[in-house]
């Protein structure tokens, strides 16, 4: 095909210069789209705040849950099993049994509390010593207090231990003081799912907010898009500034969400720690860790980019020269 000389020179771009031009255009678009956002500071700030609120809500719940988890871990370790002995078991047998239980591999310690000891503790702690002295007979059984070596993941392990203890001689009944811990775990499981559901819903909200904002900016730049397509702009080229806009929205939203959350945590940490210290725990409110913070901001960026992508692919095809 004989082409005139003009066409031979046209579009003679080497791969290398094309690559650097590609990067150059990315930089240009990144800066340009940020400038456009900052050119309308009030509108942009409003969008950023809405995004920040949507992002910070599930994160708040997540932080709360993490703190409850941390708190319950302490309780978990102090959980114990009470092994009630049959009435009239001689203390010699009780001591032997206690030693036997203490040797179980998944038992951390076992302490025998004799009926007399128990009665004494009871009268001291309740102040009902007069009533107790009036009793003919000690109504309390001997108890072996067992602290299991707990593997928090292994719920069955506890039940097996319970069964094993129940099968022992002289044992009347075994009380596992863990039902409420289990309940707490159930609640936390529920809470975790709530976090996920909330995160999914609000993530969707972020997508829609950004999608709508990008749609408006596409409408505003309709002429430009038409001209770019006319002079041979690919879809990727047309999409690029809008993807950067979405990215900036997401990044700004993520950073503001992080700031909101940090302020909130700082504001709460004093009272919460005081409250917990009343219960004799040296608990300190766990804030957003570095990786959580990064995750929050990264989520914002990804959602922003994705929302822009959805909006652009939906609306760009309707603008043809």
Partner 1 sequence: MAHVRFDRVSKSYPGGHQALTDLSFELAQGEMAFLTGHSGAGKSTLLKLIMLMEKASQGQVLVDGVNLARVANSQIPYHRRRVGVVFQNHQLLFDRSVFENVALPLRISGYTSRDLERRVRAALDKVGLLSKEKQNPIELSGGEQQRVGIARAVVNKPSLILADEPTGNLDPKLSGEIMGLFEQFNGVGVSVLVASHDLALINRMDYRVIGLNQGRLAGERAAGGVRG
Q: Does 227 bind partner 1 (CB under 8 A)?
A: yes
Per-residue three-class SS string for 161-209: HHHHHHCCCCEEEEEECCHHHHHHHHHHHHHHHHHHHHHHHHHHHHHHH
Q: Does 100 bind partner 1 (CB under 8 A)?
A: no
| Residue 87 or 222 having the CB closest to partner 1 | 222
Quote the distance between the C-alpha of residue 296 and its chain's center. 10
Specify the DSSP element, H or E, that contains 44.
helix 41-78
Sites for partner 1 among residues 4-23 (CB under 8 A): 4-7, 9-11, 13, 17-18, 20-22
Q: How far is the CB of 36 from partner 1 (least distance, A)?
A: 9
For partner 1, the binding residue among 104, 237, 283, 298 (CB under 8 A) is 237
| Residue 84 or 237 having the CB closest to partner 1 | 237
| Residue 165 or 238 having the CB closest to partner 1 | 238
| Residue 90 or 216 having the CB closest to partner 1 | 216
Q: Does 230 bind partner 1 (CB under 8 A)?
A: yes
**Beta strands 143-148 and 171-176: pairing type?**
unpaired
Cβ–Cβ < 8 Å for 119, 138: yes
Stretch that binds partner 1, among 80-88, 161-169, 231-239, 258-266 (CB under 8 A): 231-239
3-state secondary structure of 85: strand
Task: Kindly tell me the sign of the dihedral angle through the C-alpha atoms of 90, 96, 102, 104.
Answer: negative
Q: Does 3 bind partner 1 (CB under 8 A)?
A: yes
Residues binding partner 1: number (CB under 8 A): 34
Tokens 């990727």, residue located? 236
Spatial separation of the C-alpha atoms in residues 171 and 84, rounded to whole Å: 6
The residues binding partner 1 (CB under 8 A) are 1-7, 9-11, 13, 17-18, 20-22, 24-25, 28, 223-224, 226-235, 237, 320-321
């Amino acid at each position: 095909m004989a082409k005139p000389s003009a066409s031979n020179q046209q579009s003679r771009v080497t791969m290398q210069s094309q690559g650097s031009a590609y990067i150059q255009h990315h930089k240009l678009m990144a800066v340009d789209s940020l400038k456009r956002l900052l050119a309308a500071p009030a509108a942009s700030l409003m969008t950023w705040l809405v995004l920040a609120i949507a992002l910070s809500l599930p994160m708040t719940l997540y932080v709360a849950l993490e703190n409850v988890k941390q708190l319950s871990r302490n309780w978990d370790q102090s959980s114990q099993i009470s092994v009630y002995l049959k009435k009239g078991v001689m203390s010699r047998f009780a001591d032997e049994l206690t030693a036997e239980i203490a040797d179980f591999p998944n038992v951390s310690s076992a302490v025998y509390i004799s009926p007399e000891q128990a009665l004494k503790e009871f009268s001291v702690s309740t102040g009902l010593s007069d009533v107790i002295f009036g009793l003919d007979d000690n109504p309390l059984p001997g108890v072996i207090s067992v602290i299991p070596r707990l593997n928090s993941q292994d719920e069955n392990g506890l039940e097996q231990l319970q069964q094993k203890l129940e099968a022992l001689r002289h044992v009347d009944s075994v009380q596992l003081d863990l039902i409420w811990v289990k309940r707490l775990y159930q609640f936390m499981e529920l809470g975790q799912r709530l976090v996920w559901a909330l995160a999914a819903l609000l993530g969707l909200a972020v997508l829609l907010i950004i999608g709508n904002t990008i749609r408006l900016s596409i409408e505003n730049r309709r002429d430009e898009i038409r001209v770019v397509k006319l002079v041979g702009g690919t879809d990727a080229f047309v999409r690029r500034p809008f993807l950067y806009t979405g990215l900036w929205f997401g990044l700004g939203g993520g950073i503001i969400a992080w700031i909101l959350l940090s302020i909130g945590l700082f504001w709460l940490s004093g009272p919460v720690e005081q409250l917990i210290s009343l219960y004799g725990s040296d608990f300190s409110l766990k804030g957003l860790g570095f990786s959580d913070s990064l995750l929050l901001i990264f989520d914002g960026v990804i959602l922003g980019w994705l929302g822009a992508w959805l909006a652009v692919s939906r609306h760009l095809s309707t603008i043809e020269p």
